[in-house]
Amino acid sequence: MARLMSFSLSACLLLLGLLPSLLRANDAPEFSEFLGHWEVDFAASEAPNDKLRYLYDVTLSDHQRRLASGQNRIGETPFQAIDDLRGLVNLGRLGEQITRTAVLNVRMQGNTLYVDRDDNFSLRCEVGGIAEEAENLGYSRCRMNDRALVFWLGLPGGFGIEHRLILSERGDRLSIATTVAADGVSQAFSVSRVYQPFEPVTEGIQCQYTLGKGKVCTLNGGFND
Amino acid sequence: MIKVWVLLFGLAGCASTPSPAPAPRPDEPTTLNRASIIQGNLAGLNLSLTPFSHLGGSISPVRAELLAAERRYLPYLLKTTLTESGFWGAVRVTPGVDVTAELNCQGQLLAASAAVLELQLICRDALGKLWLDDRFDTRIARDAYRQSAVDGPDPYQGIMIRIANRLADGLALLTDQDRRRLRDAALLRYAQTLSPEGFDGYLAVNAEGRMQVQGLPAASDPMVARVRRIRDSEYQFIDAMDEQYRLIYQQMNMPYRLWRQYQYEFEDYNTSLGDRSAGAQRRAVASYEVMLATYKRYQDYKRNEDELSEMAQSLVRALSPTLGQVEGQVVELTGNLEQQYELWRSYLLRLYQAESSPRAPE
């Protein structure tokens, strides 16, 4: 009997221990939790150039170590290693170009989630609709993966970009991890930017169309003309 | 590492399922027929166009959004061509069939992409006679977008010129008496929408199924004077609606052209990439300049798409309220273009009925 009680207690403790992770598995954020205006938090974000320098150093020393110890991959020559490093630098430079977004507006229109970026085109995701879209210029895809909303874009010429949006547990930070990868470059380049919510200022301009006068706009909604 | 695929291209541009008809060839250069001074001095018939409908079918939500903008842009492009021809009176784009117009045209968009435009156009006059029920299609020449990028004609202009010329040919067959009859029929049809009983019997369908003017009310008839007055208010509102379509057209003009140009260029680019060996592609991608240029081009394409999409979304949202003044009363109309048009028409109908009622309106 004592053994049975001890076993039950152990099982209960085990279940209690697993409970947070079980809850978390079903606790993936809804699309609606991403909605709102977000501005970059520079202090919490990675600097692409620093990240690139670090990756360059690591990759270079890796190549040097393998070449020195004769463990280079089949057919790999020092020239190819240089090409690979050059490719990584190019990915990093491109990554720096496409992660300059300072302000985001995440909104829903019908069944589509839009991530409007102040310096770039909007990312779109169909909720419960087509997850993959073949465009005549490339290939785009989005999906909810565990806690992340993932946008993926394949472009002509053999390179791809992934934006992985992850909401913090408290919902007060949004991280966007951007990865750029290309055929012929041994590793991808990733950089992460963190955003915090903000309330935009409303303009308070109201317009009416008058058949006689055309469009008439006033500040703060007054029409005492 | 992310696996990079480049898949089939050239699918997203079509507005509908492809037609079994052979692909159209590039347009022959077409010249717009213009009215001579004598023709221009004739009192022209009014022609109204409604936003084009489009075939349903499986299209992406993004494409569906853009279609909402295209189906308003294209009739306005046709309108500008018809106006330029000088054969017509007022040419307007209206949210619904315009009962005041002598000729109404409705289009259906069968396919619209950077390279191909296919549409079906049906035009009927106020007597119900079919002027046109034809399919028009065109394949846009490779360099048309580059030539038109700054200030040139829209690459879809050729198809609009062909339609305008066809309609001008139809108009040339009318005698002065035919024109007068059409104007009378348009007024009577409008009067019937306001008061079916009051204007019953003036229009009748003959043995061939054609509508005919049986007679006209006296010019001094106060009911006719009232109809004309209400119709003037209707014209005022239709002109205001037309102005809204003009704004849409102007705002769309540049992003829509650029969007189509990028679409065309990428199709070419993809084709050329497909022709290269994998090794050549790999070498190309090692270049930062090539990657950046590809991304920038895609970025420009998507930004234009965003702009068009935002425009399309705003079309279905409520517009700014429209204030109209009729017979001393101020009317405020709310909703989108179509809703405002319906509200205005129901208001004019109520106004006419109130004036016709023996009791003074409350």
Classify residue A74 by burial, with Cβ atoms within 10 Å: 0-12, 13-18, 19+: exposed
Q: List the one residue out of A127, A135, A95 whose CA is nearest residue A109.
A: A127
CA–CA gap between residue B37 and residue B102 (Å, rounded): 22
CB contact (8 A) between residue A136 and residue B9: yes
Q: What is residue B28's DSSP assignment?
A: P
Bigger pLDDT: A84 vs B41: A84
Residues 12-41 (B) with a CB less than 8 A from some CB of A: 12-13
Residue partners of A127: CB distance under 8 A and separation at least 6: A31, A108, A111, A112, A113
Radius of gyration, alpha carbons of chain B: 24
| Residue keyed to tokens 């909604």 | A221
User: Closest residue of A to B10, CA-based?
Assistant: A136
CB contact (8 A) between residue A211 and residue B313: no
Classify residue B174 by burial, with Cβ atoms within 10 Å: 0-12, 13-18, 19+: middle
User: Other C-beta atoms within 10 Å of B10: how many?
Assistant: 18
Tokens of B360: 């003074």
Which residues in chain A are contacts of B269 at CB distance < 8 A? Answer: 156
- Looking at residue A116, what is its pLDDT? 95
CB contact (8 A) between residue B285 and residue A158: yes
The H-or-E segment that residue B67 falls in is: helix B61-85
pLDDT digits (tens, 9 = 90+) for A130-187: 545 555 566 778 888 888 999 999 887 788 999 999 999 899 999 999 999 998 888 8
- Looking at residue A7, what is its pLDDT? 46
Q: List the one residue out of B265, B240, B258 whose CA is nearest residue B337.
A: B240
How close is the nearest chain A Cα to the Cα of B58, in Å?
A: 11
Question: In this model, does residue A194 exceed pLDDT 90?
Answer: yes
CA–CA gap between residue A189 and residue A48 (Å, rounded): 9
* C-alpha distances in Å from residue B284, one per residue of A101, A163, B128, B265, B279: 27, 24, 61, 18, 9
CA–CA gap between residue A106 and residue A114 (Å, rounded): 6
Ranking A94-98, A104-108, A201-205, B169-173 by mean pLDDT, the lowest is: A201-205
Classify residue B186 by burial, with Cβ atoms within 10 Å: 0-12, 13-18, 19+: buried
**Angle separating helix axes B222-275 and B176-194, nearest 10 degrees:** 100
Which residues in chain A are contacts of B262 at CB distance < 8 A? Answer: 137
Residues 301-330 (B) with a CB less than 8 A from some CB of A: 301-303, 305-306, 309, 313, 319-325
Bigger pLDDT: B111 vs B120: B120
Give the pairing of strands A174-182 and B203-205: unpaired
Q: State percent of chain B over pLDDT 90.
A: 30
- Looking at residue B87, what is its pLDDT? 93
Residue partners of A75: CB distance under 8 A and separation at least 6: none
Which one of A173-177, B217-221, B250-254 scores highest in mean pLDDT?
A: A173-177
- DSSP 3-state helix, strand, coil percentages of chain A (rounded to 5)? 30, 35, 30
Question: In this model, does residue B123 exceed pLDDT 80?
Answer: yes
Question: What is the average pLDDT across A64-87?
Answer: 73
Question: In this model, does residue B6 exceed pLDDT 50?
Answer: no
pLDDT digits (tens, 9 = 90+) for A10-28: 544 444 444 444 444 455 6
Average confidence score pLDDT of chain B: 79
Question: What is the average pLDDT across B302-325?
Answer: 74
Q: What angle do CA B254, B50, B322 make, to 5 degrees?
A: 80
Interface with A, mutate which of B285, B301, B316 (most A CBs under 10 A)? B285
Q: Are B291 and B299 in contact (CB under 8 A)?
A: no
Q: Are B258 and B300 in contact (CB under 8 A)?
A: yes
Residues 98-137 (A) with a CB less than 8 A from some CB of B: 98, 109-112, 116, 120-122, 124, 126, 129-130, 133-137
Interface with A, mutate which of B283, B298, B341 (most A CBs under 10 A)? B298
- Looking at residue B167, what is its pLDDT? 96
What SS3 state is found at A40? strand
Does A188 contact chain B (CB < 8 Å)? yes
Ranking A69-83, B277-291, B304-318 by mean pLDDT, the lowest is: B277-291
What number of C-beta contacts closer than 8 Å exist between A and B?
Answer: 160
Q: What angle do CA B298, A153, A191 make, to 5 degrees?
A: 100
